[in-house]
Amino acid sequence: MALIVQKYGGSSVADAEKIASVARRVAESARGHRVVVVVSAMGKTTDGLLALAAAITPTPDPREMDVILSTGEQVTIGLLAMALQSLGHPACSFTGPQVGLVTDAAHTRARIKRITAERIHAALDAGRVVVVAGFQGTTEGGDITTLGRGGSDLTGVALAAALKADVCEIFTDVDGVYTADPNVVPDARKLPRISYDEMLEMAALGAKVLQARSVEFAKKHNVPVHVRSTFKPDAGTLVTREDHSMEDVVVTGVTHDRGQAKVSILRVPDRPGIASRVFGGLGAQNIVVDMIVQNISRDGLTDISFTLPRADRTRAESVLAALAREVGAEGVTADDRVAKISIVGVGMRSHAGVAARMFETLSGEGINIQMISTSEIAVSCVVEDKYAELAVRALHDVFALGAERGA
């Protein structure tokens, strides 16, 4: 009998009716297999909990934030276990701490250290379906932690690795990983397979269908991940090791990330040690920056611009304002109206001119490129936010992603 981990996202368990239908699907799988189910909070519950905390204070204590955020998933596990029981299927629910999912103490973005999973084994041996709360764990000291937004994907993959499951199935509101967000590009095409590296880049660059850290974990532990629809029976996308045929395709997907902001520190003295002061200061506040551009120096002064998650913008601005005074810079500006557009594909390693084609396409649409960054298998451009969808569609067209793979 195969062991399967199934993860159902928030929209798949948004109300009682949907939970009952998930229970029927789980019960069907449990007829032939041992099944562990990981669930998210119902619908937009997590957003609601964040808003509640924000109504109390603009600077919530991360430890207390985790106490609040972890409640969402706990509701779903109880309801799903009950729904399974009412179908006559033995089932029991566990929270993250109950299954021994131990993390570090980085509240709201904790990293998994180990999973004991003893109680899961015992429940499976007793013939039960095990329902586990996604997104949460415990520190060594017994404090509740959460794994970052989208973290139930990581719980699913990490449990699949710990239990040596045959597959981790990610059930969601789309039926697989597409060449671009299907809600933005109508002719986006479902990919039957995608390599871990491409999926990791796409996730990190804005394709929220899988959490980036879950893909990193899957690659490291070689967990086959199958992204598929909660509402349809069809096969979805298999996230797997790279093979030679994948290199033939230059661009596999286009992504956009509208959750970023651009911050600049203006007319900074151009001398050794300034960049390390600026980014060291931000790092000390746990602010992770992404793309960095430094202008050519004129009169011994230069501008440094970078992108960061929009949620960290206000914090970054106050850290930088103080730094700007210390190092004698003229000031700090910030812009939320930016989006990062990226193309991703392992084939870029062996094909020249891909970036140039991207720039040409954007300029053909009259879209100004504010920043550029490249990796071995991706090129990203920061553009004005209002052009995000136009840019994605134009690039999707130019790289013929709506056509058959390999075209």
Distance CA 227, CA 239 (A): 8
Pick what 253 binds: ligand ADP, ligand ASP, Mg ion, none; C-beta below 5 to 8 Å, kind-dependent: ligand ADP
Site string for ligand ADP, 12-41 (x = CB under 6 A): x---------------------------x-
**Residue 41 touches which of Mg ion, ligand ASP, ligand ADP, none (Cβ within 5-8 Å per kind):** ligand ASP
Structure tokens at 316: 């970054």
Own/partner long-range contacts of 311-320 (Cβ < 8 Å, ≥24 apart): 311/259, 312/261, 312/287, 312/288, 313/261, 313/263, 315/285, 315/287, 316/263, 316/282, 316/285, 316/287, 316/289, 317/263, 319/281, 319/282, 319/285, 319/287, 320/263, 320/265, 320/278, 320/281, 320/282
Binding flags for ligand ADP, 155-194, as an x/- string (CB under 6 A): -----------------xxx--xx-xxxx-----------
- Choosing among ligand ASP, Mg ion, ligand ADP, none, which partner's interface includes residue 135 (Cβ < 5 to 8 Å by kind)? ligand ASP
Our CB check for Mg ion shows the closer of 181 and 270 to be: 181
The partner in contact with residue 181, picked from Mg ion, ligand ADP, ligand ASP, none with C-beta cut-offs of 5 to 8 angstroms by kind, is ligand ADP
**Which residue matches tokens 């992204």?**
227
**Identity of the residue numbered 242:** E
- Establish how many alpha carbons lie within 13 A of residue 205's alpha carbon, considering only the half-sphere containing its beta carbon: 29
Residue in 99, 81, 203 with CA at minimum distance from that of residue 155: 99
Comparing CB distances to ligand ADP, the nearer of 9 and 137 is 9
Chain residues 7-66 in contact with Mg ion, contact rule CB under 5 A: 9
Task: Report if residue 225 touches ligand ADP, rule: CB under 6 A.
Answer: no
Instruction: Check: CB of residue 387 under 8 Å from CB of residue 254.
Output: no
User: Which of residues 69 and 324 has its CB atom nearest to ligand ADP in the complex?
Assistant: 69
CA distances from 215 to 39, 100, 223, 328, 403 (A): 18, 22, 9, 42, 26
What is the nearest approach in angstroms of ligand ASP to the Cβ of residue 290?
A: 20
Residue whose CB is nearest to ligand ADP in the complex, by number: 9
Nearer to Mg ion, 40 or 361 (CB): 40
Q: How far is the CB of 248 from ligand ADP (least distance, A)?
A: 20
Tell me, by CB under 6 A, how many residues bind ligand ADP. 19
Identify residues 244-263 at the interface with ligand ADP (CB under 6 A): 253
Binding site for ligand ASP (CB under 6 A): 9-10, 40-41, 46, 72, 134-135, 149-153
C-alpha span between 275 and 309 (Å, rounded): 19
User: Out of 4, 5, 10, 103, which residue is the one contacting ligand ADP (CB under 6 A)?
Assistant: 10
Sole binder of Mg ion in the list 134, 150, 206, 253 (CB under 5 A) = 150
Helices (H), 94-248: 118-125, 151-162, 196-204, 212-220
The burial class, CB within 10 Å (0-12 / 13-18 / 19+), for 111 is middle
Q: Which is nearer to ligand ASP, 108 or 294 (CB)?
A: 108
97 contributes a contact to ligand ADP by CB under 6 A: no
Query: Can you tell me which residue has the tokens 């509240």?
Result: 107
| Contacting residues toward ligand ADP, per CB under 6 A | 9-12, 40, 150, 172-174, 177-178, 180-183, 207-209, 253
